[in-house]
Amino acid sequence: MRLYALAVYLFLYLPIAVIALFSFNAGRHASQFTGFSVQWYGKALSNPFVMEALWTSFVVALSSALIASVFGTMAALALQGVRGRVRAVADALIYVAVMVPGIVIGIATLIALVTLFGWINPLLARLAPEGQAPQLSMGYGSLIAAHALFSMALVIIILRARLAGMDRSLMEASADLYAPPFATFRQVTLPLIFPGILAGFLLSFTFSFDDFIIAFFVAGSETTLPIYVFSSIRRGVTPEINAIGTMVLAVSLLLLVAAQIILRSGARRGES
Amino acid sequence: MQRRLSTWLLLAPAGVWFAVMLVLPLCFVLVFSFGEREAAGGYVPAFTLEQYANLPTRGKAFLNTLILAPLGTLLSLLIAYPLAYFLAMRANPKWRTMLLILVIVPFWTSILIRSYAWIFILGGQGLPALIEWLGFGEVRLINTPFAVLTGIVYGYLPLMVLPVYVSLERLDKRLLEASADLGAPPLQGFLQVTLPLSLPGVATGCMLVFILLMGEFLIPAMLGGGKVFFIGNALVDLFLQSRNWAFGAAVAVTLVLIMLVTDTLYMWLMRRLGGAREDVSLM
């Protein structure tokens, strides 16, 4: 039994370890390790395409995670006191956002936005003076908006679980002591749910940073890091991809560990 | 009254976001699926069922998905169940949480990089080169159904382990003691007590994995090399290469419909099994 578990853990982690190991390989081939070198990391980090894709991914992940955390928190707080039809609609929308495959979300967003832009752009052109009309197109905006949607659903789910497990008497006590609603929120509710918000933010960032399929459809002329990696794999396996992959995995692992620690320590404080 | 207003104000941004970025786009897909293709690629408004009649031209993608997704789900279950059993019943409680986190963590890291790891391992310079060097002759692993299934199991195993673990962990251990006290051998105890009681977790895990596999693109694209392709790959081809939006929309609607049907069937089955749906959180 124990041996079996060990085998499964090896299966889960060995491929990742192989990538990490061979990112330090001096030679090009997977079949032999010819010596230790960090040259592929140097190559990756001095490649302007990699750096530009990394920057795009970072901006999109940060913006979408921020938007999702703020709006998602607001929605989760509001949904606490909502029952009936509004609640049912909200639940259905969150369920759909999480369950519809990313590829369908990506396609739907692509055709909807391209069509909408096709309607709006001529209007803008008519409003603005000759040749100065802003043109809407797919890019940073559509990437951030699409990622923020999924992340918002994620934040709402995490926060609802937290709010459900929270001691309501604290908020009632604060209200009984004549604290205005906003003061109660700032001094009681927010500190209690903050770990949840932070964990939601980190998970959202990780999701956006790692997402390939939605970005593939809505990125327009922009290239995120996963899109860059995908297209370079198509051109052939290189040790440079091993180095980029190792760095990407390291970033997500760090964020995940942080999110876990925050959620767990927060849960303990919430119980006491 | 003031409370109601503040509720609506708090809900407004998320509400608008879901309306514009989720409901509206899904409606667009539905409308487009009844449309026609523009000669240069793109979409012409129309109301025709022609796109749905054309679905059989992509039959291979549907067939592959409908064979490999259930097969991948089953394989994941067969590998995940003993591990979940070990974690819930046999593992040292001190290490249990840590071991569980170790299973889930890979799921939250880039599936792209994790699939790439298998290209690297199964590709010509990896395992096959090693096997040839050992004298077992030439083998091809990459771009086969085997490679795609490996990638699937590798990618979705964590999602299967978790719900099975949760239902096994909640199981009342006294039932097993009672079964043993009444003289049932361990295997019989497992088959008559543990297995039936873990079925809700099994069903949840299978459902989650199956749903995600139905929309899979990356794993077949990376490990199937154009030979083993899913509906997701057909969709990418239709939207980004041949720009046949109307037909692509019809394929997407059909995909969502298949998922809805399976989901409803699952809910019905769960009610028959008598188990309430487990709430499984991934964090």
**Fold of the B61-273 domain:** MetI-like fold (1.10.3720)
Q: With a cut of 80, say whether residue B277 has pLDDT above it.
A: no
Which of A71, A230, A260 has the CB atom closest to B13's CB atom? A71
Give the pLDDT band of residue B238 (cuts 50, 70, 90). Answer: very high
pLDDT at B186: 85
Tell me the chain A residues in contact with residue B133 when contact means C-beta distances shorter than 8 Å: 31
Question: Domain spans of chain B?
Answer: 61-273
- Chain A nearest CA to B261, separation (Å): 13
Who wins on pLDDT, B264 or A167?
A: B264
Nearest to B214 among A72, A101, A158 (CB): A101
Say which residue, B59 or B171, is predicted with more confidence. Answer: B59
Is pLDDT of A132 > 50? yes
Smallest CA–CA separation between B174 and chain A, in Å? 22
ipTM (interface pTM)? 0.88
Residue B74 confidence (pLDDT)? 96
For B:200-259, CB contacts with A below 8 A are 211-212, 214-215, 217-218, 222, 232, 235-236, 239-240, 245, 248-249, 252, 255-256, 259
Please tell me the distance from the alpha carbon of residue A108 to that of residue A96, in angstroms, as a whole number.
13
The percent of residues above 90 in pLDDT, for chain A, comes to: 51
- For B171-211, how does the pLDDT look when each residue is reduced to its tens digit (9 = 90+)? 888 888 888 888 888 888 888 888 888 888 898 899 889 98
- C-alpha count within 13 angstroms, C-beta hemisphere, residue A110: 28
In b/e form, how buried is each residue of B257-272, taking b as 16+ CB within 10 angstroms? ebbeebeeebeeebee
- Name the burial class of residue A131, with classes exposed (0-12), middle (13-18) and buried (19+) by CB atoms within 10 angstroms of its CB: exposed
Q: Which of A56-60, A257-261, B117-121, B197-201 has the lowest mean pLDDT?
A: A257-261
- Please report the pLDDT score of residue A243 as a whole number: 92
Among the partner residues A86, A148, A252, nearest to B110 by beta-carbon distance: A252
Which among B43, B129, B235 is the nearest to A107, CB-wise?
B235
Written as one letter, the residue type at A156 is: I
Minimum-distance CB partner of A97 among B18, B109, B248: B18
pLDDT in tens, A102-119: 999 999 999 999 999 999
The rounded mean pLDDT for chain B is: 88
| Residue range A48-72: mean pLDDT, rounded | 96
Among A125-134, B98-107, B235-244, the minimum mean pLDDT is found in A125-134
Residues A213, B281: C-beta atoms closer than 8 Å:
no
Of the ranges A21-30, A155-164, B154-163, B268-277, which one carries the lowest mean pLDDT score?
Answer: B268-277
CA proximity to B224, closest of B169, B282, B151: B151
> Is A8 close to B154, i.e. CB distance below 8 A?
no
Rg (CA), chain A: 23
Which positions in chain A touch B283 (Cβ < 8 Å)? Answer: 158, 199, 203, 259-260, 263
Distance from CA of B111 to the nearest CA of A (A): 8
Residue B116's contacts (CB-CB under 8 Å, 6 or more residues apart) are A19, A229, A233, A237, A241, A245, B222
What is the homologous superfamily of the domain A47-271 according to CATH? MetI-like (1.10.3720.10)
pLDDT at B260 over 90: no
